[in-house]
Amino acid sequence: APAFDYPPPDAADPLLDYGIRARPLLAQWLPPKPYAVLLSATSRDDKLWADTNWLALAADLHAHGIAAVLPGGSAAERERAARLAAARRWASRKRISSSIRCPPGAASIAGAAIVIGVDTGLTHLAAALGRPVIAIFAGSEPGLTGVLAATPAINLGGRGAPPGAAEVWWAARHMLG
């Protein structure tokens, strides 16, 4: 907005609608109970969140009846998702393309009770789809690239100061009610 000299939209504005819709995916690999999509992959290593944080968050979600779905697009992303899922048998790993043109990716996100992800395009897609979103920042600033949505969306952390798992879980617990 500042680059084009107009005021940024108010994230709480109920008219903030990106016009993107997707029907929730019906797939056998999806958990039958509410699930959270955990977007652990991003374009730069400095934007990643530590595996120990993802595992602690997934454990908290599981303890509250919410399964974790860990997508991965590239080989490295699939390896990370597989490593995290293998550490916890109750996590589900499924490849979801990082392309917005891929209906299963948007559809998987559209059915999530909550989406928690690092600074990546799919986290922004989740906000645009109207899902409750927590965006985790470690290598970038949320003031520049944070999620904006009319639905619940929280940006946590910042360049060189990622939030801890407890802070993210606290926000998720309050968002889920």
DSSP line for 37-102: EEE---SSGGG---HHHHHHHHHHHHHTT-EEEEE--SHHHHHHHHHHHHHSTTEEEE---S-TT-
Average pLDDT score over residue span 132-156: 92
pLDDT of residue 80: 85
158: phi then psi, degrees, rounded to nearest 5:
180, 180
Average pLDDT score over residue span 137-163: 93
Q: 135: which 2 tokens?
A: 């965006």
By three-state DSSP, how is residue 33 classified?
A: coil
Per-residue confidence at 67, pLDDT binned at 50, 70, 90?
Answer: confident
Lowest mean pLDDT among 28-32, 71-75, 79-83, 151-155: 28-32
Lowest mean pLDDT among 10-19, 27-36, 80-89, 124-133: 10-19
